[in-house]
Amino acid sequence: MAARPGESLLVVTDTIKEAIGRSFILAGRELGLESVHVNMSPRQKSGEEPPLIVSEAMRAADIIMCVTEHSLTHTNARKQAVAEGARLATMPGLTLDMLHEGAITADYDEVQSFTQYVSTYLDKGKEVVIEKEGTRLTFSIEGRDAISSTGVFREKSQSGNLPSGESYIAPVEGTAEGTIVIDQSIAGLGVVTDPVTLTISGGRLVKASGDKGAELLQLLGTGDGRLLCEFGIGTNKSARVTGNVLEDEKVYSTVHVAFGSNRTFGGTIDAGVHIDCVVSEPNVWIDGMFVMDGGRWMG
């Protein structure tokens, strides 16, 4: 975050992650920051907006750390704070273990370089094809810009997850067709022990197999929450699959798709929910170029 003495630090927590958030407040004070802690009731799902009083406080801070159970990444509150110049890290589901092991231990200069490199393929791409265990999902990304979540937020208006390491993009709404097997984890539901097959038609999730699939549909609701909103590629070679999608979706050799809101990163959907689903070792093509072979980057 490149924090400098005298800057303001806002740590946003909910009652579930309050204790971990206090560690960031103490660290901020040791660095000479004007450190403020705001604690709210937990949101019901990722992508749900925080209370107005929290979003207004976010607009006034230089540095923001969001340590919450459910993600504030894809919210208008985050988007507005960044537009005001804040450097912001979201850490949904963060555990003490994740501050010592796995993705946080990566060489972030390397993560930044590789993530930005992967983003160049998404930026110039028009169509993505994902194949996994006999399933095939296709969608357009034409005209959309990739986001590099590098874990390095040193300049004004930079934001993303921490720990991090992913390149992601908003697919063109309504273009996704096919099926995909989710075999790693689903945000809010944890590790997938029985792979879930998702069927998507006209950009909308229309069927999901198994108990986890039924739970996913319930989380997304019956409206725009079921629209495909994100495609991402993990770029952190130190990340682990733990059941916490904050780290799971960063794992090198995985991709993820998400459903719900994407207006905060280039799409048109504002659904009040955003749920990521992680896939291991897929084959991926961008505009017919074979870029991932069983999860190994070939670009």
| 3-state class percentages of the chain: helix first, strand second, coil last, to nearest 5 | 25, 35, 40
Model confidence pLDDT, tens digit, residues 217-268 = 999 999 999 999 999 999 999 999 999 999 999 999 999 999 999 999 999 9
Nearest to 157 by CA among 84, 108, 78, 89: 84
d(Cα 125, Cα 25) in Å, to the nearest integer?
Answer: 42
Report the C-alpha gap between 113 and 93 in whole angstroms: 26
Q: Say what the pTM is.
A: 0.90
Q: What is the mean pLDDT of the chain?
A: 97
Identify the three-state secondary structure at position 259.
strand
Q: Domains of the chain, with CATH numbers?
A: 8-94 (3.40.50.2300), 104-297 (no CATH)
**HSE-CB for 242 with a 13 A CA cutoff:** 16
* Predicted pLDDT of residue 103: 97
Give the span between the Cα atoms of 294 and 276, in whole angstroms: 20
pLDDT at residue 206, as a whole number: 98
Residue 218, φ and ψ in degrees, nearest 5? -65, -40
27-83 residue pLDDT tens: 999 999 999 999 999 999 999 999 999 999 999 999 999 999 999 999 999 999 999
Q: Mean pLDDT over residues 206-215, rounded?
A: 97
Tell me the mean pLDDT in the region 92-109: 95
Angle at 174 between CA 135 and CA 260, to 5 degrees: 85
For the cut 90, the answer to whether the pLDDT of residue 299 exceeds it is no
Asked whether the bond before 92 is cis by omega within 30 degrees of 0, the reply is no
